[in-house]
Chains A and B, each alone.
Chain A
Amino acid sequence: MTDSEKGENQEMLDVFFEASRAQDPVPGSDLMARILADASQVQAGFNPAPAVVSHPSAGQPGQTLLSRIFAVMGGWAGASALTASVCIGVLYGATAPDTVRSYLPALDEQTAELDYSYLGLLDETVADLEG
């Protein structure tokens, strides 16, 4: 094929190319709707809505304050455990300090060795300031 023929072919093809470009399709509304629906669906996966988690402190409509506290403690099981712990603590505190002390002899020794001489110095300092 000569250069002249190539040039003629190019001119002819340019006419066809131009005609084809003039017929470029315009996307229909149905296609655009489908594409945008896809986009929404995919985008929803990027930012999933936070799961609804019931929080005990938030309570439910109609709940009283007492019932909310009860729920926070863990219901009957939690309340029973807490009550038992409090009772045992009071019982030991009121009736058995000597028993506890007998198990900790080192405590008495440390107490006996404490130096309270600084209290005398403190009295003297106060007296100087006042007098």
Chain B
Amino acid sequence: MMPLDTNDDISDDALMVLFANGDGQAASVLAYRHTGRVLALALRMLGDKAEAEDVAQDALMRLWKIAPDWRQGEAKVSTWLYRVASNLCTDRLRKQGGKRASEDIDNVPEPKDDAPSIESDLIARDRANALQAALETLPVRQRKAVSLRFLQELANPEVAEIMEISVEAVESLLARGKRGLAEALEAQKMELGLDT
């Protein structure tokens, strides 16, 4: 069996084939490679850690199931996962009827270990929380487009592929989304150390 734990440059397509053929390590590599980004998108879309984890698990479950039928070169695994996860989030938000997620401390993600100092970490966390709150005021499609483009840092064509819309439609969603965010965050600039 191929030592996948030391072979991080193996392609996702190859890992899908290995997984479908019964290789036990392929799932580990795929899961550790993609779960973080799927979880991040779901958390930004839903604003709830437990729900975001459920979405991530569900999206990965769908990936495992489709492995035998995976068509190499047709779609990137990351793109496919983003699409599935974002659709799952949309479904959950619709069921909630646009209800905004609670903002208790459990929903705030853990900070990264390499934060330069406690003060700057607290400021960054406050800004991230403020952005999350502003994101949740946007319509779902704008929230999805902004999250994929500016937080997952994907190119517009990939965002378009994930959302199954044109690049022009993505640009329109992004423009409106940014305008909405700016309006929502404008009043907090001072307290978040941005107004000079």
Contact = CB atoms under 8 A, between A and B. Distances in A.
Interface of A: 1, 9-10, 12-13, 15-17, 19-28, 31-32, 34-36, 38-40, 42-43, 46-47
Interface centre among A13, A15, A35 (most CB of B within 10 A): A35
Given A35-B31, A43-B24, A22 B124 contact: yes
A34 B151 contact: no
B35 A35 contact: yes
A85 B39 CA distance: 75
Given A25-B40, A31-B53, A42 B64 contact: yes
Contact of B112 (A23, A35, A42, A43): A23
Contacts of A38: 57, 60-61, 64
Given A38-B61, A42-B61, A46-B22, A26 B182 contact: no
A24 B53 contact: no
Contacts of A13: 150, 178, 181-182, 185
19 contacts: A9-B179, A13-B150, A17-B131, A19-B123, A20-B44, A20-B151, A26-B36, A31-B35, A31-B39, A31-B53, A32-B32, A34-B57, A35-B57, A35-B60, A36-B31, A38-B60, A40-B24, A42-B67, A43-B22
Interface residues of B, number: 50
Nearest to A41: B64
B132 interface: yes
A24 B112 contact: yes
B194 A25 contact: no
Contacts of B65: 42
Interface in B82-136: 108-112, 115, 123-125, 127-128, 130-132, 134
Contacts of B44: 20
Interface string B140-158: 0000000000110100000
A12 B185 contact: yes
A125 B24 CA distance: 77
A27 B60 contact: no
Contact of B127 (A10, A20, A28, A36): A20
B139 interface: no
B56 interface: yes
A39 B60 contact: yes
A25 B131 contact: no
B183 to A, nearest CB: 9
B113 to A, nearest CB: 9
A25 B39 contact: yes
Contacts of B76: none
B134 to A, nearest CB: 8
Contacts of B43: 25
A22 to B, nearest CB: 5
B16 to A, nearest CB: 12
Given A19-B124, A25-B49, A46 B109 contact: no
